[in-house]
Structures are given as structure tokens and as C-alpha cells.
Chain A
Amino acid sequence: EVQLVESGGGLVQPGGSLRLSCAASGFTFSRYWMSWVRQAPGKGLEWVANIKEDGSEKYYVDSVKGRFTISRDNAKNSMYLQMNSLRAEDTAVYYCARAAITVTSYYYFMDVWGKGTTVTVSS
């Protein structure tokens, strides 16, 4: 079964750090771009970051640049999100997602999602 499982969420004080993990199974992890998407309480979805199959390219939403780092370990079928200098506005459910690509025309879409892990930034 194709599956993504996030872990590492919790309560952290403003300015603190947290490292999220995403464990993949049931597919060849090293062949896919991967993404982090978050959802603040009662709000919509916000894309956070992408990482290329081999980790050589990474992209971030402006609000997390310089504070968050996406990485992956293909030998462990895992992706990570290191979150530093956390702010109250980072409070959200964080989802990891697989970025599938169409065979022609390179259309990307997120076709497999984890259940999410909750990050709460509060004093």
C-alpha cells in the first residue's frame, strides 16, 4: 500500500525549533519530488516546500525561507522539514505529499498525502 506517515509535531515556544519527518512506503521514493503543505486552524491549504528526487533542488514559500529546511534521505525512504525560529503563524497541521508528474507535458500534482502532524507554536 502506498503510504506517507508524518511525525515530529508538537507544542513549541516561539523562537524554538522542530523537525518533522515523513516516512514513505509502498512506492519507489527516490523517483518522486516530494512536498510539504500546511493548514492553519480553520484556514485553507498553503504549500510550504518542494524537494527534487535527488535532493538537488529545493523550493520554499517566502514566509519560511531562511527558517525552514527541507531534506530527504532516499536510503531511508524519508523526507524531513527542519523548522527554526518558529512563530505563532506557523501553527498548523503539516502534511507531506508525493508530487506525481504526468508522462507528457510535465504536469505536477500531489497524489498521495499523509494524515498530517500538528505543530503548535505558543508560549
Chain B
Amino acid sequence: DIQMTQSPSSLSASVGDRVTITCRASQGISSYLNWYQQKPGKAPKVLIFAASSLQSGVPSRFSGGGSGTDFTLTISSLQPEDFATYYCQQSYSVPWTFGQGTKMEIK
């Protein structure tokens, strides 16, 4: 199974900050990497698919990068509604696996 490791596990930031979350795969997964946002009590929502493609309707302050084993999710200017938990997920091979999540909190 492919293990996905996110860092950091939690992040304290302020509105307007630029933040980057990292996701590392235990083996190469090309660009088969997706990013999801989840707010408490809600279903996840896809932000980025295929490592760097922005899902329709997602604000352009979100961007993704990377290929192979190392990936990033960047939020260029944090907004109040961005405080949530973020997960990476690989769809290179089954079982599909998620990172452990990065909880973003208000500083």
C-alpha cells in the first residue's frame, strides 16, 4: 500500500498569510494526487486534482504542485473560511490512501 504523509499535522496561521502544506508518498505516484478540504461535521470537498488542477468553483488562491513523491498545497492569502482540515489522497493504485490530515487553525 502507498503511505501518504502530510506535514505539518497542525498549523496556526493568520488571515492573509501564505501557507503551504506538504504531502509525501511512500513511492512514486506521478500526478495522481488530490487535495480535499473538510470542515467540522461536513463532507470533504475536492480542491485540487491531478496534483495541480483547480476544481471548478474553487478560489484561485488555492494551488497545488509536485509530481512523483512530493506535493504541495498552497493557499496564497488565507481567508476566514479556509480554516479547516486538509487531506491529500493518492489515486495511483488501490487501496486509495489519504494523508493523516493537516488542521489549520486561527492564530
Partners in one complex: yes
Q: A44-B87, A116-B43 in contact; A108/B95 too (CB < 8 A)?
A: no
Question: Quick check: B97 and A47 within 8 Å, CB to CB?
Answer: yes
Closest chain A CB from B78 CB (angstroms): 22
Interface of B is mostly: loop
User: B44 an interface residue at 8 Å Cβ cutoff?
Assistant: yes
User: A111 an interface residue at 8 Å Cβ cutoff?
Assistant: yes
Closest chain A CB from B94 CB (angstroms): 4
Question: Quick check: B50 and A44 within 8 Å, CB to CB?
Answer: no
Question: Quick check: A47 and B98 within 8 Å, CB to CB?
Answer: yes
Interface of A is mostly: strand
- How many interface residues does chain A have, given as a range? 20 to 34
CB-nearest residue of chain B to A59 = B94
CB-nearest residue of chain A to B51 = A107
Give the interface of A toward B (CB within 8 A).
35, 37, 44-47, 50, 59-62, 95, 100, 102, 105, 107-111, 113-116
**28 examples of A-B residue contacts, CB within 8 angstroms:** A35-B96, A37-B44, A44-B98, A44-B99, A44-B100, A45-B38, A45-B101, A47-B95, A47-B97, A50-B96, A95-B44, A100-B49, A102-B50, A105-B31, A105-B50, A107-B31, A107-B49, A108-B91, A109-B46, A109-B49, A109-B55, A109-B91, A110-B46, A110-B89, A111-B49, A113-B45, A115-B42, A115-B43
